[in-house]
A and B are shown apart, each in its own frame.
Chain A
Amino acid sequence: MGDFHNPDSDLDRFRFRLGFAAIVVLLAFGLLIGRFVWLQVIQHDFYQTRAEDNRIALIPIVPNRGVITDRNGIVLARNYSAFTLEITPSRVPNLEASIDALATVIDIQPKDRKRFKRVMDEAKNFESIPIRTRLTDAEVARFAAQRYRFPGIEVKARLFRQYPLGSVASHAIGYIGRITDRDLGWIEEMEKQANYKGTDHIGKNGLEQHYEFELHGETGYEEVEIDAGGRALRSLKRIPPVSGNNLSLSLDVKLQQITEQAFGERKGALVAIDPSTGGILALVSNPTYDPNLFVDGITPDNWKELNDHPSKPMVNRAINGSYPPGSTFKPFMALAALEMGKRTANQTISDPGFFNFGNHHFRDDKKGGHGTVDMYKSIVHSCDTYYYILANDMGIDNISKFMGQLGLGQRTGIDLGKDGASETKGVLPSQEWKKQRFKKPEQQKWYAGETISIGIGQGYNSYTPIQLAQATAVIANNGVMFRPHIVRHITDAKTGEKRIIEPQPIRDLKLKPQNIDIIRRAMVGVNKEGTGARAFAGAPYESAGKTGTAQVYSLKGADYKAHSIKQELRDHALFIAYAPADKPTIALAVLVENGGFGAQSAAPIARMVMDYYLLGKLPAGAAQEDAAAVEDDNEE
C-alpha cells in the first residue's frame, strides 16, 4: 500500500508513464508512416494502376462491317443506319417501371424485353443496350416528345446488316446473327476476343462466316473517365474503328437471279464456274430463304417455318446435297477408260439392250438396245450397256482412283462457311470405302456386281452439285483443276488496296490431248444431236453437255412412269455443260430434285444460264422450260 502514498514517487512514476506513453505514440505513428511508405512508395505502381483501372473504362466502337458486291458491283450485303431505343441500366433507377412506362409510348413486345434482359446480363452497367431496334420515324418523334420522362434512355443510330436482294443468293452470302456461346468459342480459338468487344453479330454461314475476320474490321476504342457509379464523365481518347474489308465476288447476281427464277417452285441446285479460274459465277440452291430474318435474331415462328418446311430451304443443296450423278458420270468414265488404256474411241460393243452379270440382268434404258456403239455414240445417246461393260472391265478401284483425281467425293474447298466444316464430301465408292463404311465383315466386301451400276453413275455414287460442276470445269479446262471460290478480290478498307484472290490450281491431271478431245467432241455431240439437242436447239454458240437421270427409287424391273409415282420418289434430273465448246468460259452442273429426265427439266435451265451469260439474253418467261413439249426421245 505504501507505493501509493509518497507524492514524490507518485510524480516520478507519473512522469515515467508519460514517457512510456510518448514512446508508444512514436512507435504507433512510426508504424503508420511505415504503412504509408509501403502503400505510397513500394506498392505505388500497383495502386496507381488500380486507380487508373477504376477511373478509365474502354468503350468499344464497333467497326462497319465490310460490304459484299457481285462481279458487277451490285450490292449484296450492306449496312444501314437505323434508330434504336437504348437503355443504360446504371442510369435508370427502376428498370422495370421505366420499361413499363416506355411501353406506353413505344411498342415493346415481351420478346423485346426478353432479349434486353439477356443482353443486359452479359453487359457492363454503363453500356447502353437496345430494347427496340428499327424504330420508325413516328416512334422516334413520339419518344423525343416524352424524352424528359426517361432519363438514361436514348434513341441512338446504329448500323444494321441488310441484304438488299433478300433471298437471292442467300446460300452463298449467308447471314450474320447474334453471337452465341459457340461463336465465342470460335472467336477465342482465333484469338480475336479483344477485337470482338462490343460486337454482337457474327457471320453464321456462307461468305459472311467464311470471311468473318475480313468483313469485321478493327474495333475502335473510346477511353472514358467514369465515376464509381459507372457514369461516363468525359472522353479522354478516341481510337477510331477501321471498317471491315469489302468483298467483291466472281458471282454474277443477275445470272443467279435468273437461275433461281428458272427453278421456280422446284427444288434443286446449280453451280456455274469459270473453268479457267475456279471463280463461281452462280451458286443456286432452291428454295432459298430471306437472310434478313436472321440479323436481329430470328423469331421462333419464322425459324420453325424454315426449319420444318418439307423442301428444306435452309439446306445449301449446292454444297451439302449429295446425289447420284446418273449418266452425267459417263463422260468421266469414258475419259478414265481412255487414260487408263481400257478403251479406244473406236472400239465398239454390240448393245442388245441389257448386260447380264451372273444372275443379274442390267437393263439398258432403250428397249432393244442401241446396236453397235462406239465411245462417241455411248456418250451422245447415253448408252448404258457400254458403261456396264466398261465398269466391269475397269474394276472399282481404277474408277475410284480416276474419279478422285477429278475431285469427286472430296471437299472442293470452296470459300463458304467455316473451313472444311461446311461442305459435304459425298461418296466416292471403292473397296476401301466400303470397308470403312460398314461394320459387318459380309457387308464390307466389295462385290464385282456392285461395280456394274457404278458405271452409269448409280450404286453407291453420290456427289454434290459443286463437285460435278468442278469435274465438268476440269474437262472444259483440259485437265487443270482450280479450287472453286466465290470472292474475286478483297478491298482493304484502310488503304483501298485490292487484294486479288488468285486462281488456285489444285492439280493438273496431265490428260492426253487426244483423249480429252474425244470426250469434248462427244459432249458437243450431246447438245447437237443427242440428249441435249432439244434444249440447245438454235443456240448461236457451240456448247457441250451431258444429261443424267438419277434414280431415287429402285424400280426392281418395273417400267418407270413419271406420273404414276409419288413426286418425292421421282428421279432427279441432272445436266452438266460448258460453253463455248472451243474456249469455255462457263462450266456448270444442274440438279433438279425429282425433276425426272435431265434433258427435260435440267438442260433447259442450263441453256437459259448460258444464253444470259454468253449473250446477255434474258429468258422470255420463267416457265419456258416447262412449256416445252415433252417427248419420249432416246433419253438414256
Chain B
Amino acid sequence: MIDIPGTLRRGWRELVAHIDFPLLLITMAIMAVGLSTVYSATFDGNERIFSQAGNMGVALVIMWFVSRLPPQKLMSFAIPLYLLGLILLIAVFLFGIKVNGAKRWLPLGFTRIQPSEMMKIAMPLMLAWYFQKYEATLGFKHFFIACLLLVVPFALIAKQPDLGTALLVGGAGFFVIFFAGLPWKVIIGLGAAGAAAAPMLWNVLHDYQRKRILTLIDPTTDPLGAGYHIIQSTIAIGSGGTFGKGFLNGTQTHLEFIPEKHTDFIFAVYSEEWGLLGNAVLVFLYTLLIARGLIIASSAPTLFSRLLAGAVTLGFFTYAFINMGMVSGILPVVGVPLPFMSYGGTALVTLFVGIGILMSIHTHRMLVKK
C-alpha cells in the first residue's frame, strides 16, 4: 500500500521545511500592495501587472532554492561571488556601455548585465565570511581590511555613477562591520571626518547629483527640470490626504504628472490613492519585516549568520527609507526602488535572495547546534 496522503504530507513538509512563514506572509502582504499599485500605475497605459507577477514567481522560486542552502554553503560562495562581482565592476569601468549618461551595464553579446546589483548580496556575504574566518583573533587590522573590501566596489559603483546602488552596497557592508563590533570611537570619528570632508565630496559629485541635492533644498528653483520629480511627487502625496483619493483615482498618477510612476516613484502613486492611512500600513509592514529579520539575526548561531542576517535586514530598511524619503522630498533623488513594491525583476530577485538567506539562517540554526 502506498500511503498517498502520507507521501503528500511528507512532500509538503519537505517543500516548506526551510520556509519562514512570518517572513513569507509579511513579504507577500507587501507584494500584494505593490502589485495592486503597479496595476493602478499602469492599467491605463502599458500594462505591467502580469509581467510583475511573473517576476514575483521567479523571485519566489529563487528564494526557495536559497533558503535550502545551509549557511556553510553560503559561506563557500562568499569569495567567488565577491571576486566575480569585483572583476565585473572593473570590466564595466573599462568596457561598460553608457545608458543615460551612466556606465552601469556590461555587454555580453546576447544580453547585458548590471554587476553592481550582484554586489548588494556579495558584499555582506564576503564581509561576514571574513569576520567569521578571523573571529578568534579579530583586531583593528581586520576592520581596516574589511573597510578596504567595502570601499573598492563602493567607489567603482559610485563612479559609474550610480549613487543609489553604491549607497545600498556600502550600507550593507557597513552594517556587517558595525555588527562585527566596530568601536564607537571609530564610528563617531568617521562620522566627524565625513562631515568635515563633505565640502570635498561636493566637488567629487557629478553635476546631476549636485543638482539633486540643491533641488531637494529648494525644488522650486527648477520646477520644470530637476525639481519637477520632487514637486510632483510631494503634490501627489499631499493631495492624497488622510484617506487617499481611492484606488485608481489618483489624478497625479493617471494624468501622468508622476514620473517613473511604476518604478522608483511608485510610493507617490500608492500614497496619493491610499493617503496617510495607507502609508501607515505600509510603514508598519516594513517595520514587521525588519523586526522579523532582526529577531532572526539575534537568534542566529554563528557570527557569520548573525552578521549576514543583520546586514540583509538593515539593507531592506535602507531601501525603504531612502525611497520613501526621496519621494516625499526629505532625501535627494537617487535611483533606489521601493522594496517588494517597485516594478522590476532584477531588484526583486536580489531582495528575495536576501529573504532566502534569512530563511536559510533561521531554519538551519538547529542543525548547526546539533
Query: Are A39 and B136 also in contact (CB < 8 A) when A26-B287, A33-B279 are?
Result: no
* Shortest distance from the beta carbon of B327 to any chain A beta carbon, whole Å: 10
Main secondary structure of the interface of B (DSSP, over half): helix
Contact pick for B256, options A25, A31, A228, CB 8 Å? A228
Query: Are A44 and B287 also in contact (CB < 8 A) when A4-B139, A28-B317, A226-B255 are?
Result: no
Residues of A within 8 A of B175 (CB): 21
Contact A32 B325 (CB under 8 A): yes
How far is it, in angstroms, between the C-alpha of A55 and the C-alpha of B294 when the chains are bound?
44
Give the interface segment out of B52-60, B105-113, B193-201, B229-237. B229-237
| Complex: chain A residue closest to B306, CB-CB | A14
Residues of B within 8 A of A33 (CB): 279-280, 283
Residue picked from A39, A44, A227, most chain B C-beta under 10 Å? A39
Contact A22 B257 (CB under 8 A): no
Contact A25 B290 (CB under 8 A): yes
| Complex: chain A residue closest to B313, CB-CB | A21
The range of chain B's interface size is: 35 or more
How far is it, in angstroms, between the C-alpha of A39 and the C-alpha of B179 when the chains are bound?
35
Residues of B within 8 A of A36 (CB): 237, 271, 276, 279-280, 328
Residues of B within 8 A of A32 (CB): 279, 283, 321, 324-325, 328, 330
| Complex: chain B residue closest to A229, CB-CB | B256
Interface residues of A in 1-45 (CB under 8 A from B): 1, 3-5, 10, 13-15, 17-18, 21-22, 25-26, 28-29, 31-33, 35-37, 39-41, 43-44
Contact B328 A35 (CB under 8 A): yes
Query: Are A25 and B276 also in contact (CB < 8 A) when A18-B310, A48-B241 are?
Result: no
Residues of B within 8 A of A21 (CB): 175, 178-179, 294, 310, 314
- How many chain A residues touch B (CB < 8 A): the figure is 41
Query: Are A43 and B238 also in contact (CB < 8 A) when A17-B179, A29-B283 are?
Result: yes
Contact pick for B139, options A1, A41, A46, CB 8 Å? A1
Contact pick for B181, options A10, A41, A229, CB 8 Å? A10
B297 within 8 A of A: yes
A86 within 8 A of B: no
Residues of A within 8 A of B306 (CB): 14
How far is it, in angstroms, between the C-alpha of A14 and the C-alpha of B307 when the chains are bound?
9
A357 within 8 A of B: no
How far is it, in angstroms, between the C-alpha of A37 and the C-alpha of B280 when the chains are bound?
10
Residue picked from B139, B239, B271, B330, most chain A C-beta under 10 Å? B239
Contact B298 A15 (CB under 8 A): yes
Residues of A within 8 A of B242 (CB): 40-41, 44
Contact B256 A39 (CB under 8 A): no
Interface residues of B in 157-192 (CB under 8 A from A): 175, 178-179, 181
How far is it, in angstroms, between the C-alpha of A52 and the C-alpha of B250 when the chains are bound?
11
Residues of B within 8 A of A101 (CB): none
B291 within 8 A of A: yes
Contact A54 B251 (CB under 8 A): yes
A614 within 8 A of B: no
How far is it, in angstroms, between the C-alpha of A432 and the C-alpha of B328 when the chains are bound?
76
* Shortest distance from the beta carbon of B180 to any chain A beta carbon, whole Å: 8
Residues of B within 8 A of A4 (CB): 137-139, 181
Contact pick for A54, options B257, B276, B310, CB 8 Å? B257
B286 within 8 A of A: yes
How far is it, in angstroms, between the C-alpha of A55 and the C-alpha of B252 when the chains are bound?
8
B339 within 8 A of A: no
Contact pick for A18, options B276, B294, B330, CB 8 Å? B294
| Complex: chain A residue closest to B322, CB-CB | A28
B124 within 8 A of A: no
Residues of B within 8 A of A39 (CB): 234, 237-238, 328
Contact B298 A54 (CB under 8 A): no
Query: Are A51 and B251 also in contact (CB < 8 A) when A10-B181, A21-B310, A32-B328 are?
Result: yes
Interface residues of A in 585-611 (CB under 8 A from B): none
* Shortest distance from the beta carbon of A90 to any chain B beta carbon, whole Å: 13
A47 within 8 A of B: yes
* Shortest distance from the beta carbon of B171 to any chain A beta carbon, whole Å: 12
Residues of B within 8 A of A10 (CB): 181, 303
Show 11 A/B contacts (Cβ-Cβ < 8 Å), sorted by A: A4-B181, A13-B181, A29-B321, A39-B238, A40-B238, A41-B241, A44-B241, A47-B234, A55-B255, A225-B255, A229-B256
Of all A-B residue pairs in the complex, the 9 with the closest CB atoms, nearest first, are A47-B238, A51-B239, A4-B138, A39-B238, A227-B255, A228-B256, A40-B276, A47-B239, A228-B257
